[in-house]
């Protein structure tokens, strides 16, 4: 029991160190506003797509198909549930704030935190189930999720822009790699792995840079705390009740609940900065939910145990 908790604390600590380094770089003017924009583009259009494609490179056998199907269905249900919430809860917010909360509701940080946390609790099986669980999240993140920020009257043009986004192209490539298992040269897999491995450090440092001018006393608000409760307690709680009600396998239940209870995705801040949303508020949500998840994920771990 001690090892998974220690792993989670270490993971959270690393995230906050990355944020602090980004804040320090911003304070010392090591990165200008133009440089920050360039780093955001580099992360969204190069590094993150490599991370997505690399995540789909894993062994696949048809004996695992039924369990994979269950967790895939649960993940689809979670995304549908989150999309419904995102469309009914934030209609009274300002136009530059509404997409931030919508995206943060739909897109969690499961892509980064999910893998090490699931593996530390459930071992190799948890790791493979996580890869399957993340398929609907990755698709929604770069389709409906991205559409929250891309405002255009031409719906066809918007859909085309989303469909051809580098991160969505990475999802298409990843699905082909997962289901057809083509042999890839080690040079290719190593390159994707190394480039994708930069995602966490770059994205969290960018969050820190966005927080450079934020007044910390404004970090916590009633709105932010209510959202944190939604992201970290209500959504995983709904998954927990569903799985218990239908007597889903404990391993699948555990992985699904833990991943559903991850904090707001770091891409919330990146996309807000890229498309003119409230990047500071997005960064606050990422930092606050990440901090609070240290306690909520541990709590879910004890409930599941």
pLDDT, residue 234, reads: 97
pLDDT, residue 289, reads: 92
Phi, psi of 291 (to 5 degrees): -65, -50
Please give the average per-residue pLDDT across 259-285, as a whole number.
89
Q: Do 85 and 238 meet the contact criterion of CB atoms below 8 Å apart?
A: no
Helical packing angle, 48-55 and 199-210, nearest 10°: 140
Q: With 80 as the cut, is the pLDDT of residue 42 above it?
A: yes
Residue pLDDT, tens place only, 216-250? 777 888 999 999 999 999 999 999 999 999 999 99
Instruction: Dig out the tokens for 92 from the structure.
Output: 């009274």
- At residue 143's C-alpha, the angle toward residues 138 and 144, to 5°, is 105
pLDDT, residue 3, reads: 65
Instruction: Dig out the tokens for 38 from the structure.
Output: 């360039």
pLDDT, residue 144, reads: 85
Q: What is the pTM of this model?
A: 0.81
Residue pLDDT, tens place only, 168-179? 899 899 889 988
Please give the average per-residue pLDDT across 6-28, as a whole number.
84
Helical packing angle, 98-106 and 65-88, nearest 10°: 160
Q: Do 284 and 228 meet the contact criterion of CB atoms below 8 Å apart?
A: no
Task: Give 158's pLDDT tier (boundaries 50, 70, 90).
Answer: low
Residue pLDDT, tens place only, 20-40? 999 899 889 999 888 988 998
What residues are paired with 108 via a beta bridge? 264
Q: Do 295 and 12 meet the contact criterion of CB atoms below 8 Å apart?
A: no
Q: With 70 as the cut, is the pLDDT of residue 154 above it?
A: no
Instruction: Dig out the tokens for 239 from the structure.
Output: 């998954």
Nearest one of 15, 71, 82, 1 to 298, comparing CA atoms: 1
Q: Report the C-alpha gap between 268 and 246 in whole angstroms.
A: 33
Mean residue pLDDT of the chain comes to 87
Residue pLDDT, tens place only, 107-134? 998 877 787 788 778 876 787 788 889 8
């Amino acid at each position: 029991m001690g090892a998974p908790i220690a792993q989670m604390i270490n993971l959270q600590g690393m995230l906050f160190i990355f944020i602090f380094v980004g804040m320090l770089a911003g304070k010392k003017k090591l990165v200008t506003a133009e440089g920050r924009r360039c780093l955001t583009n580099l992360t969204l259009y190069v590094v993150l797509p490599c991370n997505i494609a690399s995540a789909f490179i894993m062994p696949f056998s048809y004996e695992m198909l039924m369990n994979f199907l269950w967790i895939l269905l649960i993940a689809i249900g979670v995304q549908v549930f989150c999309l419904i919430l995102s469309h009914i809860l934030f209609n009274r917010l300002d136009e530059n704030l509404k997409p931030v909360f919508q995206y943060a509701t739909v897109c969690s940080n499961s892509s980064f935190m999910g893998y090490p946390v699931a593996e530390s609790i459930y071992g190799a099986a948890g790791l493979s189930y996580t890869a399957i669980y993340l398929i609907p999240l990755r698709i929604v993140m770069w389709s409906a999720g991205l559409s929250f920020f891309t405002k255009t009257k031409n719906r066809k043009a918007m859909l085309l822009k989303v469909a051809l986004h580098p991160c969505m192209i990475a999802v298409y490539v990843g699905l082909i790699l997962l289901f057809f298992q083509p042999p890839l040269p080690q040079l290719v897999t190593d390159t994707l792995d190394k480039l994708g491995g930069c995602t966490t450090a770059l994205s969290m440092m960018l969050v820190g840079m966005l927080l450079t001018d934020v007044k910390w006393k404004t970090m916590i608000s009633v709105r932010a705390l209510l959202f944190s409760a939604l992201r970290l307690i209500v959504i995983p709680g709904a998954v927990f009740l569903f799985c218990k009600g239908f007597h889903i396998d404990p391993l699948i239940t555990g992985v699904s609940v833990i991943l559903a209870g991850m904090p707001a995705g770091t891409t919330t801040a990146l996309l807000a900065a890229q498309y003119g949303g409230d990047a500071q508020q997005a960064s606050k949500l990422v930092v606050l939910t990440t901090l609070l998840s240290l306690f909520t994920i541990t709590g879910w771990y004890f409930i599941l145990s």
